[in-house]
Amino acid sequence: MKKQFAFLALLLAGFTVFAQTEIEKGLNAISTEAVKGQLGFLASDWTEGRAVGTKGEYIAADYIASMFQVFGIQPFGDVVSTAPARREWMAGIRPQSGKSYFQNFSLIQYEPGEEQNFSVISTSENSEKSVDFGHKTDFNVRTGTVGLSAKAPVVFAGYGFQNKEKGYDDLKNISLAGKIAVVLTGFPGHQDTASSAYKKFAPGDRRAMLNLERDKTTNLEKAGAIAIIQVNLAADPMLSFAQNQIYPVKGAHYEADKPLRTYYDIPVSMPADTLTGNIPAFTVTSRLANEIIKGTGISFAEFEKTAAGKMAPASRELSGKMVSFRTTVKSEVIKARNVIGYIEGEKKDEFIVVGGHYDHLGKWDGYIWNGADDNGSGTVGVMTIAKAFSATGKKPEKSVIFAAWTGEEKGLFGSKYFVQEALKKKMNIAIYLNYDMIARDTESDKAKNKADMSYTKAYPGIEVITKKNIASYNINLDMSYRGAERASGGSDHAPFAQQGIPYFYFMAAMHPDYHQPSDELSKINWEKMTNIIRIGFLNTWEFANSNQYLLKTP
């Protein structure tokens, strides 16, 4: 009798498993315990903050590749060949080729050299005067990738701010080709939070503000400027130039005799066939900045007041003013690698890409930036969706690529390289899912279930299916939706969007631990993170097997 009951129990269990749909099998593979296990290692001290090109990052990459293999995800990186030893040749073993999980590329790491010069030249009908300023006395410089010497006219470019959708463009009526741009930090109205300009142009959060300043450099270079002079009216750069740090530095997470080094002290660039990204940016003192505008009729204070009130640019070339400078650079090549796997679909030539960056800010002076949320959480999201797709037991209609990018924190280099290579191969990418910081809460999130989804506005079905899946599967997420005409922000969706590839991008919260050593596992909201992975899987499964919600509006 006991044997009969045991047989019936097994039979019923078999029917239960058989009755599960592919989607239910995928969802069941997404558990909080599995998420904790993956993130527990990825954001541990053993990976030492996963800075691009470091041993800790390579350990993390090997771990991600191993998990892809465990989940049954096939390699989709570079083609590699084996090289049998002589004994193996004699035994009949021959070289074999196949794809690996790693997509390798080079980066150039660089920093300012010992010699840096800067002079302001004022000319009149009868004379020419050159004032030579001292490095780390009146100016500091973020160099380009190679040293540069130049003597060129100076153009006041306001904030260097562009928001054409809202009718403001500091670069519209000026020529910057071959010239040096003087720009103020901030944006129209940034000094007055009650002003109409502030309400109109203010970035949404700290990260958006960082992206705003980064975008300025890109736009000024595109406009032809050969150098940037940055003026911050609210800060005295001399405080950071001081060489005698007599009293301990009191930072947010440490005390020391000198400032803690950080990941951003040494920038990197991606080499290309032509010289790009080589625009030096000078941070200057008020007396240097005032020497530049002396006698030109420009007043920084008056400009800020007018820009806040009238929201109108006042950019123009500074007659009789030139700047001469010389920068030197120390550089070296470092190797970097993305981790790429895939599930082949019925359509071998149509792809969906699920990605998130696995690099973070590394280890400096004994402090580790573990990056549990940024972006260990998103990386685990990619791995777990890969696990869920494999668990369905069904071959999707479209092929699905799972990617852990490197170099995001230095400038989106991993995703840029992938997109660059995909264009060369003419890959048909239907949509891209990006995960970046999917596991924290803001202070106002009392229910601890708020999250944001950004997406390509021309594809409204992305929002429709997200709402539908959250409701149908009773997922505890209070989602905010932001459709954009064009991509903004500094995450890995941007290189895809710039090539016209639709995207959707999940983020949980911006928090005080962003880019701090305190971004630790102990602060993760595991339920929210797991739910964001679930909705990402449900959406991606829909897009992989149907075009119903992937239609572009006319």
- Average pLDDT on 482-504 reads 90
Looking at domain 107-331, its CATH architecture is 3-Layer(bba) Sandwich (3.50)
- Average pLDDT on 266-271 reads 88
- Residue pair 161/201 in contact (Cβ under 8 Å)? The answer is yes
Question: Would you state the pLDDT for residue 19?
Answer: 61
pLDDT in tens, 367-414: 899 999 999 999 999 999 999 999 999 999 999 999 999 999 999 999
Task: Return the beta strands (E) in 72-147 as ranges.
Answer: 74-75, 79-81, 97-99, 102-123, 128-133, 139-142
Question: Would you state the pLDDT for residue 18?
Answer: 47
The domain spans of the chain are 22-77+336-545, 107-331
- Residue pair 390/25 in contact (Cβ under 8 Å)? The answer is no
> Is a pLDDT exceeding 50 seen at residue 7?
no
- The mean of the pLDDT values for the chain is 91
C-alpha to C-alpha distance for 466 and 207, rounded to whole angstroms = 25
3-state secondary structure labels for all residues of 241-259: HCCCCCCCEECCCCEECCC
> Is a pLDDT exceeding 50 seen at residue 17?
no
- Residue pair 537/30 in contact (Cβ under 8 Å)? The answer is yes
**Burial of 314 (C-beta count, 10 Å sphere; 0-12/13-18/19+):** middle
Long-range contacts, 40-46 (Cβ 8 Å, 24+): 40/521, 42/358, 42/376, 42/379, 42/380, 43/370, 43/371, 43/372, 43/376, 43/520, 43/521, 44/370, 45/368, 45/370
pLDDT in tens, 28-75: 999 999 999 999 999 999 999 999 999 999 999 999 999 999 999 999
Q: Using alpha carbons, select from 398, 384, 298 the residue that is nearest to residue 348.
A: 398
CB atoms within 10 A of CB 264: 11
Do 107-331 and 22-77+336-545 fall under one CATH topology? no
CB atoms within 10 A of CB 157: 29
pLDDT in tens, 329-367: 999 999 999 999 999 999 999 999 999 999 999 999 888
pLDDT in tens, 123-154: 988 899 999 999 999 999 999 889 999 999 99
> Is a pLDDT exceeding 80 seen at residue 165?
yes
What is the CATH code of the structural domain delimited by 22-77+336-545? 3.40.630.10
pLDDT in tens, 289-329: 999 999 999 999 999 999 999 998 999 999 999 999 999 99
C-alpha to C-alpha distance for 158 and 176, rounded to whole angstroms = 13
Amino acid at 435: Y
Quick one: pLDDT band at residue 248, thresholds 50, 70, 90? low
> Is a pLDDT exceeding 50 seen at residue 84?
yes
- Average pLDDT on 273-289 reads 89
C-alpha to C-alpha distance for 523 and 537, rounded to whole angstroms = 24
